[in-house]
Amino acid sequence: MGTWVADDGKTVVITPHGRGFTVTVRPGPGLDPCTSAELLDGGTKLIEDLPAQCHLRDGRVRYLEIEAGTPGLGPTYRLYATVQPPQGPRPAKPWIPARRIVLVPSPSIGLYDDWDDDLGVPWAYPLLPLTRQTATRR
């Protein structure tokens, strides 16, 4: 949960919602939410307050997956929870404090996406790691 920011200013806000989470992606702090690529029905949607499905492995969060395209068909946007030790990125263990977690974004293709340029989520690029924004004290 919280606000996560990439070096280019992209902001991802993860909010608790019921038993899960929602995700909003903005190109920068205070800017309007990103807009999806054209969906199969010809429309678009805001990448705002979208439900995030939590995928687990060995009892810990492996990634959050956000449906960023046509529901059930993709593409999806995944946020992997990692730590960044000198040896290279590793999956974050459940006890790691949020301030040490780095979210690594990755698009996942959908049923009709068989190209690998932007995977239907051009707003997600560049795929830069996201670090937790800490509250500033006044």
Of 101, 23, 123, which is closest to residue 67 (Cα–Cα)?
Answer: 23
Reported as a single tens digit per residue, the pLDDT across 54-77 is: 887 666 667 899 988 877 777 889
Reported as a single tens digit per residue, the pLDDT across 74-96 is: 788 999 999 988 888 888 887 88
Question: Percentage of the chain surpassing pLDDT 70?
Answer: 86
Say yes or no to pLDDT of 35 above 50.
yes
Q: What is the pLDDT of residue 138?
A: 43
pLDDT band at 137 (very low <50, low <70, confident <90, very high): very low
138 in any annotated domain:
no
Number of domains in the chain: 1
User: Range of 101's domain?
Assistant: 2-132
25 in any annotated domain:
yes
Question: At a CB cut-off of 8 Å and minimum separation 6, what does 111 contact?
Answer: 73, 74
6 in any annotated domain:
yes
Q: Is the peptide bond before 75 cis (omega within 30 degrees of 0)?
A: yes
